[in-house]
Structures are given as structure tokens and as C-alpha cells.
Homo-oligomer: A and B are copies of this chain.
Amino acid sequence: MGWGDLGVFGQPSKETPNLDAMAAEGMLLPDFYTANPLCSPSRAALLTGRLPVRNGFYTTNAHARNAYTPQEIVGGISKDEILLPQMLKRKGYVSKIVGKWHLGHRPQHLPLENGFDEWFGAPNCHFGPYNSSIRPNIPVYNNSEMVGRYYEEFQIDRKTGESNLTQIYLQEGLDFILRQTQAQKPFFLYWAPDATHAPVYASKRFLGKSQRGRYGDAVMELDYSIGQILSHLRTLGIENNTFVFLTSDNGAALTSGPNESGSNGPFLCGKETTYEGGMREPAIAWWPGHIKEGTVNFQLANVMDLFTTSLALAGVSPPDDRTLDGLDLTQVLLNHSQTLESRPIFYYRGNELMAVRLGQYKAHYWTWSNSWDELKQGINFCPGQEVPGLTTHDQKEHTLQPLIFHLGRDPGEKFPISVLTKEYRDVLRRISPVVELHKKTLLPGIPQLNMCDVAVMNWAPAGCKKLGKCLKVPKSAPWKCDWPH
């Protein structure tokens, strides 16, 4: 989902009454970022509080390439990482993930092996080719065993776009909340539905309801579902004791546009890029009685802060044997202080620090939208947009003279500040030491997303025998994954 998909963030169709109400009852964070312009690394960062370049969710197969966890990936979340549910367990929290996991799909990488007590959902995206010949359909797990596959037991009608998946995920979430409340257990629910990802689907009651086509239908269903979750908390009387945060793992994928793509509002480009459209995310914090209603806070923040903040709220000390990238936002959320000290936002693409934001200024050290080859194939991460020198189709280095933008005056990154100005020199003088320190102290993790193998696909997941859904596993033939962008 993109920043501009919510009414409260300027979507012209204004079809998110529940999320808009959530913002009115809570705090809006217009300057909130994900850790990476695509799914898996962002989710790994959320759960570890660490940049993908530290937690291993990146590739070194080529320079500055986006990598994630398709079925052929060999790697996944490293055992050396400590995940949020593992930390929360220290205070007796019960944790569940509902929906897409995306931190690896081999047995050792799955949620229940990494701190979660429950899981209902799928390890990968609901990609095709929709029959199990060349590649298996993605399994849906209930805890540690599969209960079916997408396009088989869990229908997604490719033609009509109809699927009950979000409703199923909603029920799983509501049920978990109810059970923990009844058991008087503290809980962490990571509700990670895979709508609005392409191929886009929605259930029958939402199909055709949006002004925005099928993508808008999916947004409406998410909006409805989150409304149901919040209202469930109120019904159970635990709304004053439950911290809820809404965000997304990357900007809207503009290359799926217009039918299967959302909106990044006024921001440049989208998913897969380190322009604002790729990493600035919708963000709402909600906690009646604690977070003041109707507030807007311009703290520069990101998904890794949610790791640190959640630990602080739960009274758990963060791990002290590793570098964490997340800050504790408690003071900001509870409005004791307006914002924390100036902190940078790092925009990585794979193994490269592409850009840095400090205050209102963003400096691009490397620029790349996507390759000429991909562009010729019709893959365009910046459709209808072209900022000379910035949305380049070759990887361009600007280390000695980064392109600098003022995101307040120019949120769309259209007007680079002239290198001849005092403003440019002043900003560069402030940003350079931040970048230098970051690079000097950075210990990259072992890259987990380098190797691929057809044998590791979801041919025969745990539980497949019971269902008679095991497929023949082909012979192992590993290769270095090809990450084209």
C-alpha cells in the first residue's frame, strides 16, 4: 500500500473511513519510512529492529539490487538474529503472525521456529503461474503445517479477482485477540495480510465498490478489516491497554498500474526505488487514553523503531550485543516530547546506501530507477515521471557531489538544490559526517539472499502428506539468484 492510498493522506477517492478515523483517534506520522523499498527486507527489519544490510536480508550478487524471498530462495532469516516475538516472550507475550511471512520458507526459517507461537498464512507472495507444474502454488500454513495452497484450497479467482483471504485473515486475527484476552495473556499480533499485492483480490462484498478499480476494492477491504480489529479491541475493553500501529512494507508498485497499483501521493516513483514513493509509508499510531487523539507528529521514524518501541512498551530491555537501528519512540507517541533528536533515515538498495535524509534534506549518493533493459520490457518504476539526473536508468554514483533535495518545499524530489548555493554546502557539511560515521561503523551481515535452487520450492511442505498435497521435489541445482533491479 502506498502513502497516498489513505483518505487522510490525500487519496482523492476518500475510501478509507476506518483508517481515517483511526488517525483522528490517534497520531498520524507523515514522515514515517520503511527500511527498504520492497517486502522481505522491510519485514525482516521490522522484526529485528535492524537494517537489512545488518540482518542479512540483501544480496551481494550484484551492486545495489533488490532481493526478496521468492520460492527459489535458499536463504531466510538467520538464526543469529533476534526477533521481536522472541524478546516479548520474556514478559510472557503470546505472538501470532497472520498473513504473509516472507522471511524464508524452508522449515528452519518459518515463524514458529523464530519466536511466533501461532501462524496462519503463507510464507511467500501469491504469485503464479497458478498451477503446480513449473513451480508449486504457495502453501497456506496453520501454525507449523500447511492446510492447503493458494489457487487450490484457498481460492483466488484470477478473472473476477474474488477471494475470501482477507476475511479469513481477519477472522484469524480477531479470534487470536479474543483468546488471549480471555486467557488474560499479553499478546503481539502481527497482522500482515497480503492484499493489496498483485494479483489483486478482494472478497465479494467489496468487489466493484471502489472508485479506483480492484486495487481500491482491496484497500476498502483492508480498511474495513482494521476497523473491525479496532472495534473488537473496544468491545473487549482492552483498547486502553493495546498499542496498535498501521504501516506498509513498501510504496505502491507503480509498475502494476493502473489496475493493480496504488498511490504514493505527491511522492516520486514507487516500490523498488529509493525515491520517496518507494519508502515513505502511511503510518498511524493508536492507543486510546495514551496517544493523544488527532495529533500529527513529524518525527522521522521507521519500521525498525517499532521493534525498539514495542520492547520499551512491554518493559523488555533491547538486545545489547548488536547494533539496533530502531529508536524508542515512546516519548514521541505519548507526546512528552514533540520529536527526538535529529536522526537520519538511510535508504538502501541491496548492499548500497543510495540516499540519506537528515531533517528536511535528502541527499542521493547513488541514483537508479531501473535498467534500460527492463524499461524496454515495459517495467517502469516511475511511470510518467522523469527527473533528469535522478530517475536514471543506469546506476549513477554521486558520492562526491550528491543530489540534494528539500523535502518540505519539494516533497516530490523534482528540484535539486544547486551545488553552487550556500544551502547546498551547509547541508552537505551536516550530512557528510553522518554518512561517514554510518559507513565506518557498519558491519554488514552475511547476505542471505544470494542463492537460489528449484529444489527448495514449496513442493512438499510440512503437513502435505496428510492432505495428499506433496509434489515431487526436483533435484537440487543451486544457482546465484539473478536480481534484475
Contact = CB atoms under 8 A, between A and B. Distances in A.
B384 A258 contact: no
Nearest to A411: B12
Contacts of A406: 213, 258
Given A31-B12, A265-B265, A213 B408 contact: yes
Contacts of A33: none
A259 interface: yes
A213 B417 CA distance: 13
Contacts of A31: 12
Interface string A422-452: 0000000000000000000000000000000
A113 interface: no
Given A9-B10, A266-B12, A257 B211 contact: no
Interface string A281-319: 000000000000000101000000000000000000000
Contact of A384 (B14, B213, B215, B386): B386
A409 to B, nearest CB: 4
Majority DSSP secondary structure for residues of A touching B? loop
Contact of A385 (B265, B385, B407): B385
Nearest to A259: B409
A52 interface: no
B14 A296 contact: yes
B411 A298 contact: no
Given A30-B14, A296-B14, A387-B384, A409 B4 contact: no
A253 interface: no
A383 to B, nearest CB: 5
Contacts of A216: 408-409
A463 interface: no
A397 interface: no
Contacts of A258: 406, 409-410, 414-415
A355 interface: no
Contact of A266 (B266, B387, B414): B266
B210 A383 contact: no
A22 interface: no
Contacts of A7: 296
A10 to B, nearest CB: 1
Contacts of A360: 211
Interface in A398-425: 406-415
Contacts of A9: 10
Contacts of A387: 384
Interface in A255-270: 257-259, 263, 265-266, 268
B384 A268 contact: yes
A13 interface: yes
Contacts of A4: 10, 265-266
A263 B413 CA distance: 12
A408 to B, nearest CB: 4
Given A7-B296, A263-B266, A384-B412, 7 more contacts: A12-B30, A211-B360, A213-B406, A257-B410, A258-B410, A263-B411, A263-B412
